[in-house]
Structure 1
Amino acid sequence: MPKGIDKATPFTAAQAKTLAAAGYEFAARYLVPPSYAWKRMTSDEAKLITAAGMQIVSVFETTANRAASGADAGRNDGAAAYAEALAVGQPKGTAIYFAVDYDAQQRDYDNIEAYLKAAAKQTTGYKTGVYGSYAVVEEMAKRGACTHFWQTYAWSKGKRSSRANILQYKIDTKVSGIALDLNESYGNEGWWNANPPAPPEEEITMKPEDADKIIKFLSAAWFAATTKADKAEFNRLANEVRKAAGIPVQ
């Protein structure tokens, strides 16, 4: 299973390279407003994490028990997280986790659910997840409050949820002198990187044998053409037919 870290403060390029070389495959960092600059991820940081060879997990957290404030807080935080995700270049379809970074109790669950669902409505195109204890992960999964789950061992009483996509199994430690927490992942993490997306493959919409027949007619027209412009146009049309059939252009 992939090993990763989460870190409160921004990476330097040297730190990212050191941790990637040590075998860590992903790094969790914060999408937060500029007023939290001490822990805020920027697009430049996302690029250097990617350049080192690690994937990125995005998490939103301002204060530890913010999610207990309910739907209004969720709407505000969702909008803020959305703006930050766009600013750092996070691709749509990946996940933004919202933190429940305290020992939440049964009395808090309704507000946490409302917070997560309100945040999800503001993060159009992104998946939403929750970071929290075993009980929080289990309860929010049961309620359908989000789609991704990052469990911390804190407050979990030794239990691990089968719903967890990521598990934070050790906090407040150091690797090569870098202060961080340790994680492992189990799939469908919703992580991302800053590499540009691969260009879409051209769709094949025509059978090669049909393309050959059309190209023969275009070839005859090419030979009959009397101007360079007409010949160039027939050649262009033939190549468009070749593309539609997945045949190399000429």
Structure 2
Amino acid sequence: MTSVTKGFDCATPLNASLAAAFKEQGFDFVCRYLVPQGWKRLTREEAEAISEAGLSLVSVYETTADRALGGREAGLRDGVIAARTAQAIGQPEGSAIYFAVDFDATAAQMPTIIEYIRAAGEASPAYVTGVYGSSAVIEAVRAAGACSRFWQTYAWSRGHKADGIHLYQHRNDIQVNGIGIDLDESYGDEGWWSTLNYRLKAEDVNEIIERFLAHEFGKASGADKLRRNELANELRRASGQPLHMYVPEHTE
């Protein structure tokens, strides 16, 4: 069963207290703008505050909503800028950068969008390339093999949810903790990151979980199962892995 993790995206920069408030409310990740300038940009200081609060980061590159219509030339330029910006704020190599297609793209525009995404990835080889957009954009870009990470918005998707997505934006324009946010959920392998240095190897963590925390999990009480899952998630977080959600069973 695929685990679902709760997150959000926003244009407003987060300080330490805001990041902590979202974490306390059950959010596990935030998507922020990886751009070199402007009021909504993610800075190194903000990335560190978000990471210290226990939230993971997802990077999205967007200057204008229809930037992808610039095609290959724009993609090459943006890929270089995105990679340089990521390095400057401490985003580790191997994590993902999502390039936004933030409008209702038509079928006729898809070839240009595909060339933009492919070129952006070519120009930022140290990072995994993703795309944000409608279900039609996700399916076209994936079919072309232009990138490997997919963040779908419900907007312009006309009720359709694409298969194989890593992130899903399912509600827009709500107020939480005094700022405007959109709600997202993730399904694993989304390429999020943190400024904290991971000292634990994923394979070691998974062996610890399997040997000690998952041992006789089915025989444990409800409270013990919940606690074991919490401990396992702390280990997963320390090794940069997606968290697993445990839903307690209700008995009559």
Q: TM-score range by the shorter chain?
A: 0.7 to 0.9
**Aligned-residue identity in percent:** 48
AA partner of residue 2 (structure 1):
T
The 1:18/1:117 distance shift into structure 2, 3 A limit, reads: same
- The runs of 5 or more residues in structure 1 that have no matched partner are 202-250
Contact 1:170–1:183 (8 Å) recurs in 2 = yes
Contact 1:29–1:57 (8 Å) recurs in 2 = yes
State the shift of 1:29 in Å. 0.5
Contact 2:96–2:190 (8 Å) recurs in 1 = yes
State the TM-score, normalized to the length of structure 1: 0.77
Contact 2:12–2:179 (8 Å) recurs in 1 = no
- The runs of 5 or more residues in structure 2 that have no matched partner are 203-252
Quote the residue 1:159 is aligned against. Answer: 160
Structure with larger RCO (C-alpha < 8 A, sep 6+): 2
Quote the residue 1:22 is aligned against. Answer: 25
Point out 4+ residue stretches in structure 1 off by more than 6 angstroms: none
Distance in 2, matches of 1:187 and 1:198, equals 20
Distance in 2, matches of 1:122 and 1:75, equals 5
Structure with max Cα Rg? 1
Quote the residue 1:175 is aligned against. Answer: 176
State the shift of 1:200 in Å. 7.4
State the TM-score, normalized to the length of structure 2: 0.77
State the shift of 1:122 in Å. 1.2
State the shift of 1:14 in Å. 1.2
1:153-190: per-residue Cα shift (whole Å, max 9, x none)? Answer: 00001111112100000111111322111000111110
State the secondary structure of the residue aligned to 1:182. Answer: strand
The structure 2 residue matched to 1:3, chosen from 3, 6, 10, is 6
Contact 2:8–2:181 (8 Å) recurs in 1 = yes
Quote the residue 1:99 is aligned against. Answer: 100
AA partner of residue 26 (structure 2):
G
Task: Give the alignment's Cα RMSD to 1 decimal.
Answer: 1.3
Of stretches 174-183 and 152-161 in structure 1, the one that deviates more from structure 2 is 174-183
AA partner of residue 39 (structure 1):
K
Quote the residue 1:65 is aligned against. Answer: 66
1:66-107: per-residue Cα shift (whole Å, max 9, x none)? Answer: 001100100111111011100111111110000000000111
AA partner of residue 161 (structure 1):
A
Contact 2:8–2:31 (8 Å) recurs in 1 = yes
